[in-house]
Amino acid sequence: MQMPKQAMLLRIFTGENNKFDGRPLYEAIVKKARECSWPAHRAARSDGFGQSSLIHTDKILRLSMDLPLVIEIVDSEEKITAFLPVLDA
């Protein structure tokens, strides 16, 4: 895969417990990204806090049931812009 000289980063924040059609939302987003011929993208856990202002972390002493996730996709502005309506759906 060759990266364009001018690229755009799409960063999506979600949680492990967020669902879409009965399965984790992040899995649905990654699957759609693959369907759009993006072999390179990243989904990773992240420390953060939600509406309750409680810190969510993956440290063993503080197990959280809804860890934050970040999905990142880098490509041309045209491809990223074309993917946005797919995410909205």
The residues near 76 (Cβ < 8 Å, ≥ 6 apart) are 4, 6, 7, 8
Looking at this protein, which amino acid is placed at residue 42?
R
Structural domains in the chain plus CATH codes: 8-88 (3.30.70.120)
The predicted model scores a pTM of 0.69
Q: Residue 74: what pLDDT?
A: 85
Rounded to whole angstroms, the Cα distance separating 69 from 62 reads 17
Rounded to whole angstroms, the Cα distance separating 16 from 71 reads 12
Q: Residue 32: what pLDDT?
A: 87
Per residue in 15-43, pLDDT tens?
888 999 999 998 899 888 888 777 556 66
